[in-house]
Amino acid sequence: MRSKAMLVVYFRAWMQPQVWAAVFFPIQVA
């Protein structure tokens, strides 16, 4: 389950790097 979820996240990040960065960066900073 976890591996599949991470794969989906990676795929979506590859498809939309700008959106992923906008979502992930604030989480890391916070």
- 1-30 pLDDT tens trace: 678 988 888 887 777 777 777 777 777 776
Q: Which DSSP category does 16 fall into?
A: -
Tokens of 20: 């992923």
pTM value?
Answer: 0.38
What is the predicted pLDDT for the residue at 30?
A: 64
What is the predicted pLDDT for the residue at 1?
A: 61
Angstrom distance (rounded) from CA 13 to CA 20: 5
Q: Which DSSP category does 19 fall into?
A: H
Domain chopping of the chain, boundaries: 1-30
Phi-psi group of 16: left, alpha or beta (phi > 0 → left; psi -120 to 50 → alpha; rest → beta): beta
